[in-house]
Amino acid sequence: MGFSLLAGTRAPVRVWTDPYGIEPQAAKQLRNIGALPWVQGVAVMPDVHFGKGATVGSVIAMRQAVSPAAVGVDIGCGMSAVRTSLTAADLPDDLAGLRRAVEDAIPVGFAQRDEPVNPRRVRGLEQRGWDDFWRRFTDLDRRVAQLETRARRQLGTLGGGNHFIEVCLEQGGVDAGRVWLILHSGSRNIGKELAERHIAVARRLPHNADLPDRDLAVFLAGTPEMDAYRRDLWWAQEYARRNRAVMLTVLMNLMRDRFPQVSYDEPISCHHNYVAEETYEGVDVLVTRKGAIRAGLGDLGIIPGSMGTGSYIVRGSGNDWSYRSASHGAGRRMSRAQAKRTYSTADLAAQTSGVECRKDAGVVDEIPGAYKDINEVMAQQDDLVEVVAHLKQVICVKG
C-alpha cells in the first residue's frame, strides 16, 4: 500500500492506513507525539487506535530520549508460535478435552502457579541464564521488592484480556491443515507495576512540564531516571520472553504426551510492546513499538486477528520508512465497554462458530466484531511484510 503523511506535525508521521479513518482521539495523540522535540519520526500501523499516552499501533523513534507510555504497561507483550508435524486429521473430532488440558496445564486470568516454575523440571526448556535473571530482580526499583514471589509464581501464566493460547490450522498451500500452536502474553503484573512507577516518575520531571500530554513524558539520556528505566525495562522484556518460552514449552510437551509422533519446527517469538536501540539514516535512536512488531528484512513475525478470524505468520521486508516495523494484530475498532454494550453471548457464539473456546459473557469484549478486519490490515501493509502462512484457530483459550 505505501504510506501517507499525517498533516500538522513537526517530525514526519507516516501512516499505513487512511489518515482520515483514524479516530480523532488517536489522530490528536499522533500529532502530540510528532510535536515532541526529541522525536525523529513516527510510523503508524494499520491497526492504530487510541491508547494511554501514546497510540497503540505506533512506532516512535526518539533521539536521546524515551517515553515509557510509548511502550505501554505490558512491557514485552508479544507472540510465540511453532509449527508442528501434525495435521487436522490427527486431532480428535471433539476438541473440548484438549482445550481443558491446556487450561489445566497453564494458569489463565488472574491465576498464578502454586509453586514457581523450576526450569530444570520443564522438559525441553532453554536452561541458560535463569539464575542470573532472577538475581537481577534485586536490582529493580526498590518499590517492587515485595513482588518477587508473585512474579516467580506468575512466570509461565497467560493472564487475561486479549491474551490467548490457540491451536490453529494452516490455510491453503501445500501445508494446508498443518497444526500450529500460538500464544499471546507479556510480563504479567511485574511489568505493569514497573511501567506505572516509571511513568509516574517521568510525569514529575521538570522538562516534561509543558508537554501537550503529560502522559507522553520522557526520560532523557544520561540521567539517573533514564538509567533506572532502561535497567527495569530490559529485565521486564526478558521476563515476558521467558514467560512465553515456558508456556510454549509446556504446551509442546502436552501435545507430545497426547500425540507421541509429533515433531516441531523452530519456534518463532516476537515482542510488540518494547524498546530497541536502532540506527536509521546514520542517526542512533531508541525505537518504541507499542502494538507493532519488528519487520526487518527476513525477520519472522506473528500478526493475530481475533478469537474467530485467525492469524498470519509473516516475513519482514525491512522497510526503513516504517522503522522496519509492522502491525501487531488487527487492532480494536471499539472499546471493551462498547463491545459489551453492542454484542451478546449469542453474537459471540455465532462469530466463533467452529472454534472450541469460551462463549460466555466474560469474553464478549473480545468478540471478533470488536476488532478491525485482519485481512484489510494485512492488505494495507503489503510493503512491510510478506505472508508466510495464514492460520485459523480451532481451539482458543482465554483468561
CB 391 within 8 A of CB 170: yes
> Does an H or E element contain 151, and which?
helix 148-154
Whole-number Å distance between alpha carbons of 115 and 40 = 46
Q: Which three cell numbers stand for residue 214?
A: 503529560
Q: What is the rounded (10 degree) CA torsion for 368, 372, 376, 382?
A: -110
Strand partners, 236: none
Q: Which three cell numbers stand for residue 336?
A: 471493551
Of the candidates 382, 395, 381, the residue with the CA atom closest to the CA atom of residue 46: 381
> Is there a catalytic annotation at residue 272?
no
Candidate list 163, 184, 328, 390, residue with the active-site label: 328
The DSSP letter of residue 283 is: E
Residue 20, CA atoms < 13 Å, CB-side half-sphere: 0
> Does an H or E element contain 249, and which?
helix 224-258
Q: Give the ranges where the chain is alpha helix by DSSP (H).
A: 24-35, 96-105, 130-135, 148-154, 188-203, 224-258, 336-342, 345-351, 374-379
> β-strand 39-49 against 13-15: which pairing, if any?
parallel
Whole-number Å distance between alpha carbons of 186 and 150 = 15
Cα 82 to the center of its chain, rounded Å = 16
Whole-number Å distance between alpha carbons of 190 and 177 = 38
* Alpha carbon distances (Å) from 40 to 44, 159, 184, 222, 251: 14, 34, 30, 19, 41
393: helix, strand or coil: strand
Catalytic sites, residue numbers:
328
